[in-house]
Amino acid sequence: MVLEEARNKKRNKMKKRFYYRLAVLIVLVGALVFALVANLTKDKEIYRAGDTAPDFELAQINKYNELETIRLSDLQGKGVMLNFWGTFCPPCEAEMPYMESLYPKYADDIEIVAVNLDNSEMVIHQFIDKHDLTFPVVHDRNSDVLDLYKVKPLPSTFFIDPEGKIVDKVEGALTLERLEEHFQAIQP
């Protein structure tokens, strides 16, 4: 009788352990399914060559440029270099002189729009003065345009043709030669 009770106790304990493990397994499988579904349905729209560049409007903060705001759609008919950068980014700073050197040469056909992601306009103004930048610099205070374009590394540059189509996206700093090649590709 004692032996029978011990066996029943052991069986009950094994049943409880089985149901507990089954419940944990079901929860883990449910979490895995949820994670997969969430990632598959997540907004993954990343803009590539051939896509229409999404429109935006930001205030222009460069006192050396007469434009007050920049709306991308207002620039149709011109090629656009849309550059995402920050003053805290050494590769961004390295490519700014190249952009400035080409701006006067291509200003009639191509607009450079430098989207800054810093917190403070004072820091941006100091940077603009330091490098004598004359092309439009806009301040993306809330990273709305950064999120719209799904930009990850800085600098990132979109080259947009006169019809508003993305021709190329470059992640990382550009050399003067590569920058001029891209300008020639988007020139009307």
Instruction: Give the global pTM.
Output: 0.77
Domain count within the chain: 2
- What confidence tens digit (pLDDT) does each residue in 88-103 have? 999 999 999 999 999 9
The residue segments making up the domain with residue 11 are 1-42
What CATH number corresponds to the domain at position 104? 3.40.30.10
Higher pLDDT, 155 or 36: 155
**Together in a domain, 72 and 3:** no
Instruction: Judge whether 49 lies within some domain.
Output: no
Q: Is there a contact between 156 and 142 (Cβ–Cβ < 8 Å)?
A: no
- What confidence tens digit (pLDDT) does each residue in 41-98 have? 555 568 889 999 999 999 999 888 887 899 999 999 999 999 999 999 999 999 999 9
**Together in a domain, 91 and 12:** no
User: Phi/psi at 133 (nearest 5 deg)?
Assistant: -80, 135
Q: What is the pLDDT of residue 4?
A: 81
Residue type, 172: G
Using the CB atoms, write b or e for 33-49: b if 16+ within 10 Å: eeeeeeeeeeeeeebee
**Together in a domain, 167 and 92:** yes
Q: What is the pLDDT of residue 44?
A: 55
